[in-house]
């Protein structure tokens, strides 16, 4: 148990794991790996001539975990943070460590804010989002919905998938309907 004065429990040995879990450690011997003998350490063959790539330079706008002294040597700039969702994500990185649940919950919140904004923006385009087709519910009868899922791990939560996908749309529609109704009731 980390961060406690108790002596940590020793991890089980490879023999104990092999006895307990069928197939555990099947690839421990490099000769049993499918990539063998191609798997080898040969930096000259890759063209890498550095121990750490040349740094791209710190961009103060780029989010960085507070656990790290600087950004990674190379990072993407194609999708900069923006808007309210970007502010939420920046706050998560600036305030909370990656070991805190608040960090990840804020990132999820930022993602949901971004997704909601994208859905709202799509309403003002010539091709708005179509929640009916995006749920995949129209494809269900044609693509053998039960038979195609037999033996799959995700079969257990398949019943809740339409609710998770369509639920926010239904809730958003209900809230919008209530707001419109309230506006018209006040005017009359």
pLDDT at site 112: 93
Residue 2 has pLDDT above 60, yes or no: no
Q: What CA–CA distance (Å, rounded) separates 90 from 66?
A: 11
pLDDT in tens, 80-109: 899 999 999 999 999 999 999 999 999 999
pLDDT at site 138: 81
Categorize the per-residue pLDDT at 133 as very low, low, confident or very high, splitting at 50, 70 and 90. Answer: confident
Judged on CB neighbours under 10 Å (0-12, 13-18, 19+), 16 is exposed
Q: Kindly report the backbone phi and psi dihedral angles of residue 60, in degrees, each rounded to the nearest multiple of 5, phi listed first.
A: -65, -20
Categorize the per-residue pLDDT at 3 as very low, low, confident or very high, splitting at 50, 70 and 90. Answer: low
Residue 4 has pLDDT above 80, yes or no: no
Neighbours of 109 (CB within 10 A): 16
Categorize the per-residue pLDDT at 184 as very low, low, confident or very high, splitting at 50, 70 and 90. Answer: confident
Question: How many residues can be counted in the chain?
Answer: 188
The predicted model scores a pTM of: 0.57
pLDDT at site 7: 77
Neighbours of 67 (CB within 10 A): 8
pLDDT at site 1: 42
Percentages helix, strand, coil for the chain (3-state, rounded to 5) are 45, 0, 55
Categorize the per-residue pLDDT at 37 as very low, low, confident or very high, splitting at 50, 70 and 90. Answer: low
């Amino acid at each position: 148990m980390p961060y406690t004065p108790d002596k940590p429990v020793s991890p089980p040995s490879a023999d104990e794991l092999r006895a307990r879990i069928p197939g555990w450690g099947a690839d421990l011997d490099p000769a049993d790996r499918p990539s063998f003998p191609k798997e080898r350490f040969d930096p000259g063959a890759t063209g890498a001539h550095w121990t750490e790539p040349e740094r791209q330079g710190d961009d103060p706008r780029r989010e960085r975990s507070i656990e790290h002294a600087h950004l990674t040597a190379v990072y993407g700039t194609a999708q900069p943070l923006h808007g309210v969702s970007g502010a939420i994500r920046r706050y998560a990185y600036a305030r909370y460590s990656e070991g805190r649940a608040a960090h990840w919950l804020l990132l999820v919140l930022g993602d949901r804010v971004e997704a909601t904004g994208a859905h709202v923006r799509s309403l003002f385009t010539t091709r708005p989002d179509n929640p009916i087709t995006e749920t995949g519910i129209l494809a269900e009868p044609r693509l053998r919905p039960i038979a195609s899922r037999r033996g799959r791990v995700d079969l257990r939560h398949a019943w809740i998938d339409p609710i998770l996908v369509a639920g926010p749309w239904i809730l958003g529609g209900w809230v919008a309907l209530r707001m419109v109704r309230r506006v018209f009731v006040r005017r009359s």
